[in-house]
Amino acid sequence: MDTPTEVLHRVFGYDSFREGQQEIIDHVVGGGDALVLMPTGGGKSLCYQIPALVRRGVGVVISPLIALMQDQVDALRALGVRAGFLNSTQDFDERQLVESEFLAGELDLLYLAPERLRVDATLRLLAKGDISVFAIDEAHCVAQWGHDFRPDYLELSRLHELWPDVPRIALTATATPATHAEISSRLGLEQARHFVASFDRPNIHYRITAKNEPKRQLLEFLRSEHDGDSGIVYCLSRSSVEKIAEFLVDNGIAAVPYHAGLDARTRALHQSRFLREDGLIVVATIAFGMGIDKPDVRFVAHLDLPKSLEGYYQETGRAGRDGLPASAWMAYGLNDVVQHRRMAMEGDEAHRRRQVLHLDAMLALCETVTCRRIMLLDYFGQKDSQPCGNCDTCQTPPESWDGTVPAQKVLSAVLRLARERRQKFGVGQVVDILLGKKTAKVLQHGHETLTVFGVGDDLGNAEWHGIVRQLLAQGLLAVETDYGALVLTDDSAGVLRGQREVLLRRDTLRPARAKTSSSA
Ligand code: ADP
Ligand code: ZN
């Protein structure tokens, strides 16, 4: 029997284990259960592949990433590993072939989509074979608290009942303390050894900037820092994916779109071009990226606010897997906040509560005046980190200013408008009133007669939008579900009464303007 180290050299061609790998592998080879928390790119695959090769029998890997199974299996076969998969994309003959290989003991690794386990025939098949280890990849999919819950994963607790002697290893890259606990209890891994690798990705530079002209800002970011680099640009909607991809191409930058609305062939083509070509940018929705292993992704850009820190950290974690400097860049604006606040109000009560907490954590990261990495690591349960020196807030600490008076102006405008019963008003109307703009809508409702009309003409449109965004982020304002109307919160009163100070980040003021005034 080969040792893990021999397999590492001979099959995978690597010199040494990465941090954590050897301990995990030894534990599983010895028959122990394991729960592994390791960041994206940390090297989780080897943690189950090597035990599968070292132990007698077939390693069964449960993975939700059906679209990637073919690639994963091809890659393993190219290394001489006997791998196969079973999922819904195969026809009967293809399945038969894999099943007979499995039964004949001709496989080292068998990848299974979780829904296969609901089919009794699959369980009967597994019962006839010799299984060396169960690997549960993307284990956070079992957690309802997380952002990627899949009901089929709940069934995986049965594996242990049916095969009590086969070791199980569950792996994930996204685990807050809450998700971690949920995975452990749902999969019955309380007695398993838990391996928690550092979640820090020190080579990734984090930067979050206020969004005012997203296209121009993106272009400037790409041209000044990532000329000719491979990277991913995430957008929230399919239509913005299309638009941004087109915009980049029009500007002479190699880019392709990727979202669930494209046909399977186009998606596969764009994905494989991204993996193979140098310097190609994929503009995508979050449908893109899970399980993609491209070491030299130099940047991940977000043009819209992700729904949760889990999502954000996983997406940005796709940059710089090779350990070389990479950037995570995000532009976010008031509309993101409004849109997410409204989306967070959908669904049942428990879902809503979770969404709101997720969004609040995301916003807190955006508006923080301290090291972004400290906040991220803290969120993922790694306390007491030191300022990293490799994020925007470390490098140029944001100035804060006393925004109590402007905040009071916004809140009293919202208060005045809330008194009107017939109609609700959004951000645009509030800002127009503060600026003293006699727009048709202002005149129609007689808003030019409000005492707050024109009290904000000391600042510009963009500044007011930035202030409203920060008030939303701080929970001093809220967005009503149906119309996107601004409403006060329980905390607003303290500000209105002058009992509470409001600190705002200076950089919400439009940077271009701040520059001209200081150089003048
Ligand atoms: P994860 O699943 O944790 O995101 P992967 O298992 O895909 O990460 O590994 C990320 C990359 O690191 C892959 O390209 C993999 O081949 C490489 N890798 C993993 N372990 C080692 C090692 N011990 N030495 C060198 N490269 C490694
Ligand atoms: Zn920092």
Q: ipTM score here?
A: 0.97
Confidence class for position 462, pLDDT limits 50, 70, 90: confident
CA of 397 from ligand 2 middle (Å) equals 9
| Binding site membership of 46 for ligand 1 (Cβ less than 6 Å) | yes
Closest residue by Cα to atom 17, ligand 1, is 43
Q: Judge whether 143 and 183 are in contact, CB under 8 Å.
A: yes
Backbone angles phi, psi at 365, to 5 degrees: -65, -45
Q: Among 12, 40, 49, name the best residue to mutate to test ligand 1's pocket (greatest count of ligand atoms within 8 A of Cβ).
A: 12
Please spell the DSSP secondary structure of 52-64, one letter per residue.
HHHSSSEEEEE-S
| pLDDT at 49 > cutoff 70 | yes
Place of tokens 């073919």: 70
The pocket of ion ligand 2, defined by CB under 5 A, consists of 371, 373, 388, 391, 394
pLDDT at 399: 86
| Binding site membership of 45 for ligand 1 (Cβ less than 6 Å) | yes
Place of tokens 């979780």: 114
Q: Judge whether 451 and 314 are in contact, CB under 8 Å.
A: no
CA of 212 from ligand 1 middle (Å) equals 38
Q: Which atom of ligand 1 is nearest to the CA of 8?
A: 23
Q: What share of the chain is helix, strand, coil (3-state, %, to 5)?
A: 45, 15, 40
pLDDT at 510: 43
| Binding site membership of 38 for ligand 1 (Cβ less than 6 Å) | yes
Closest residue by Cα to atom 2, ligand 1, is 44
- Pairing outcome for strands 83-86 and 109-112: parallel
pLDDT at 520: 27
| Single-letter code of the amino acid located at 425 | F
pLDDT at 91: 92
| pLDDT at 380 > cutoff 90 | no
Distance from C-alpha of 227 to C-alpha of 219, rounded to nearest angstrom: 10
| pLDDT at 38 > cutoff 70 | yes
CA-CA-CA-CA dihedral for 456, 460, 462, 467, to nearest 10: -30
Distance from C-alpha of 258 to C-alpha of 266, rounded to nearest angstrom: 8
CB atoms closer than 10 angstroms to residue 419: 7
Closest residue by Cα to atom 18, ligand 1, is 43
Closest residue by Cα to atom 9, ligand 1, is 43
pLDDT at 2: 86
pLDDT at 473: 79
Q: Among 293, 314, 322, name the best residue to mutate to test ligand 1's pocket (greatest count of ligand atoms within 8 A of Cβ).
A: 293
Q: Judge whether 505 and 368 are in contact, CB under 8 Å.
A: no
Q: Which atom of ligand 1 is nearest to the CA of 17?
A: 23
pLDDT at 421: 67
- Average confidence (pLDDT) over 418-424: 76
| Binding site membership of 201 for ligand 1 (Cβ less than 6 Å) | no
pLDDT at 149: 87
Q: Tens of pLDDT along 89-122?
A: 899 999 999 999 999 999 999 999 999 988 899 9
pLDDT at 483: 64
- Average confidence (pLDDT) over 258-271: 95
Return the ligand number nearest the Cα of 387: 2
- Average confidence (pLDDT) over 17-43: 92
Please spell the DSSP secondary structure of 187-216, one letter per residue.
TT-TTSEEEE-----TTEEEEEEE-SSHHH
- Average confidence (pLDDT) over 312-331: 93
| pLDDT at 13 > cutoff 60 | yes
CA of 389 from ligand 2 middle (Å) equals 5
Cα angle 141-146-152, degrees, rounded to a multiple of 5: 25
pLDDT at 481: 59
| pLDDT at 516 > cutoff 70 | no
| pLDDT at 171 > cutoff 90 | yes
Strands, E assignment, 153-273: 168-172, 193-196, 204-210, 231-234, 255-258
Q: Judge whether 309 and 362 are in contact, CB under 8 Å.
A: yes
Q: Which atom of ligand 1 is nearest to the CA of 47?
A: 6
Confidence class for position 487, pLDDT limits 50, 70, 90: confident
Closest residue by Cα to atom 24, ligand 1, is 14
Distance from C-alpha of 273 to C-alpha of 281, rounded to nearest angstrom: 10
Please spell the DSSP secondary structure of 451-497, one letter per residue.
TTTTTTTTS-HHHHHHHHHHHHHTTSEEE-TTT--EEE-TTHHHHHT
CA of 295 from ligand 1 middle (Å) equals 9
| Single-letter code of the amino acid located at 514 | A
Alpha helices (runs of H) in 37-176, residue ranges in sequence order? 45-54, 66-78, 92-103, 120-128, 157-162
Q: Judge whether 59 and 110 are in contact, CB under 8 Å.
A: yes
Selection from 78, 108, 73 nearest residue 90 by Cα: 73
Task: Give strand pairing partners of 503.
Answer: 402
Q: Judge whether 35 and 183 are in contact, CB under 8 Å.
A: yes
Place of tokens 């009901």: 151
CA of 321 from ligand 1 middle (Å) equals 8
- Average confidence (pLDDT) over 247-274: 96
Backbone angles phi, psi at 207, to 5 degrees: -145, 135
Mean residue pLDDT of the chain comes to 90
pLDDT at 517: 32
Edge-first strand order for the sheet with 34-37 is 83-86, 109-112, 58-62, 131-136, 168-172, 34-37, 193-196
Distance from C-alpha of 432 to C-alpha of 287, rounded to nearest angstrom: 38
User: Which DSSP symbol is given to 13?
Assistant: -
| Binding site membership of 321 for ligand 1 (Cβ less than 6 Å) | yes
- Average confidence (pLDDT) over 193-220: 93
- Average confidence (pLDDT) over 177-195: 91
Place of tokens 């991204």: 274
User: Which DSSP symbol is given to 398?
Assistant: P
The two structure tokens encoding residue 442: 């202002």
| Binding site membership of 291 for ligand 1 (Cβ less than 6 Å) | no
pLDDT at 46: 97
| pLDDT at 6 > cutoff 90 | yes
Q: Is 61 exposed, middle or buried (0-12, 13-18, 19+ CB in 10 A)?
A: buried
Q: Among 24, 171, 321, 322, name the best residue to mutate to test ligand 1's pocket (greatest count of ligand atoms within 8 A of Cβ).
A: 321
| Binding site membership of 114 for ligand 1 (Cβ less than 6 Å) | no
Q: Among 9, 11, 19, 46, name the best residue to mutate to test ligand 1's pocket (greatest count of ligand atoms within 8 A of Cβ).
A: 46
This prediction's pTM: 0.73
| pLDDT at 423 > cutoff 90 | no
Confidence class for position 482, pLDDT limits 50, 70, 90: low
Q: Which atom of ligand 1 is nearest to the CA of 293?
A: 7
The span from the first CA to the last CA of the chain, in angstroms, equals 75
Q: Which atom of ligand 1 is nearest to the CA of 45?
A: 6
pLDDT at 430: 94
| Burial annotation 122-139 (CB, 10 A radius, 16+ → b, else e) | beebbeebebbbbbbbbb
Distance from C-alpha of 274 to C-alpha of 256, rounded to nearest angstrom: 9
| Single-letter code of the amino acid located at 162 | L
| pLDDT at 1 > cutoff 80 | no
CB atoms closer than 10 angstroms to residue 403: 23
Q: Which atom of ligand 1 is nearest to the CA of 16?
A: 23
